[in-house]
């Protein structure tokens, strides 16, 4: 009986040290080749009609490898979309109503509470001198390890000015693989904002957004020092040709 107890204790000790060794190796990024890669991330986007009006839906899916379930990796999602254009000291809204998204995560099908999504607003330049700035909403969600995918619904209610406009919707997904360094550590894009015929000063015009995003900085800000990869997708969402008020 004593020998069996000692054998069991020895097995538990060995198992415990093995688990700690695997966890430490993952934190150092030594096991990244055994983790999900950016090629395995599925992302798609489309406009849909809901009971509350038009919305642009972005869905993602990433199946973590068995090894990743043993470690405390944490992913994050950064979603960007324009909410207005800053012209001569004033902002002309593009999206009607309060800017916000609805998020459902899988496999649980749980609708995420609004307090779990972090919102900020940032102003991005457009080419040239003394030109308008594009106001972009940034929504950040820290993805728990038990979440393998989700559906983000962005309401795209048009204002009287923005009817028939086409706006960029940008998704950046960070996957934690341990170690140091985020790849790429910086995103530099030039998405276009095609404004509708009624937009003040820029009717039927196009604004190129000088979009830059320091992925290393923002990942560290929300998750601490992490290593991993970032995958980016840019979609074009067409706003309704009737305003939110009819």
Structure tokens given for 148 = 């393998």
- Rounded to 5°, the CA angle 170-175-176 comes to 145
Percent of the chain scoring above 90 in pLDDT: 59
Segment 11-25 mean pLDDT: 44
Q: What pTM does this model have?
A: 0.86
CB atoms within 10 A of CB 210: 15
Task: Tell me the mean pLDDT in the region 134-147.
Answer: 94
pLDDT at residue 2, as a whole number:
53
Q: Torsion angle of alpha carbons 80, 81, 83, 84, nearest 10°?
A: 100
Instruction: Check residue 96 and give its pLDDT.
Output: 87
pLDDT band at 14 (very low <50, low <70, confident <90, very high): very low
Mean pLDDT, the chain, integer: 84
Rg over CA atoms, the chain: 22
**Average of per-residue pLDDT across 185-202:** 93
| Eight-state DSSP code of residue 190 | -
pLDDT at 133 over 90: yes
Nearest to 237 by CA among 159, 157, 156: 156
Please give the average per-residue pLDDT across 183-207, as a whole number: 92
């Amino acid at each position: 009986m004593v020998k069996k107890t000692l054998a069991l204790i020895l097995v538990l000790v060995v198992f415990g040290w093995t688990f700690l060794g695997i966890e430490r190796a993952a934190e150092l990024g030594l096991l990244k080749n055994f983790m999900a890669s950016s090629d395995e991330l599925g992302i798609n986007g489309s406009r849909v009609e809901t009971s509350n009006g038009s919305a642009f839906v972005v869905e993602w899916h990433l199946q973590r490898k068995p090894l990743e379930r043993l470690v405390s990796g944490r992913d994050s999602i950064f979603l960007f979309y324009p909410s207005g254009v800053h012209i001569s000291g004033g902002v002309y809204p593009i999206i009607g109503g309060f800017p916000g998204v609805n998020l459902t995560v899988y496999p649980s099908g749980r609708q995420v509470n609004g307090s779990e999504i972090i919102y900020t607003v940032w102003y991005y330049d457009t080419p040239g001198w003394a030109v308008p700035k594009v106001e972009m909403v940034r929504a950040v969600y820290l993805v728990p390890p038990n979440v393998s995918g989700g559906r983000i619904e962005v309401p795209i209610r048009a204002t009287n000015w923005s009817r028939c406009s086409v706006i960029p919707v940008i998704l950046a997904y960070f996957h934690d693989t341990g170690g140091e360094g985020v790849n790429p550590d910086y995103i530099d894009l030039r998405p276009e904002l095609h404004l509708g015929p009624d937009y003040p000063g820029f009717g039927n015009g196009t604004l190129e957004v000088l979009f830059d995003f320091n992925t290393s900085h923002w990942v560290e800000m929300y998750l601490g020092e992490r290593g991993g990869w970032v995958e980016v997708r840019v979609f074009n969402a067409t706003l309704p040709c009737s305003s939110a008020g009819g």
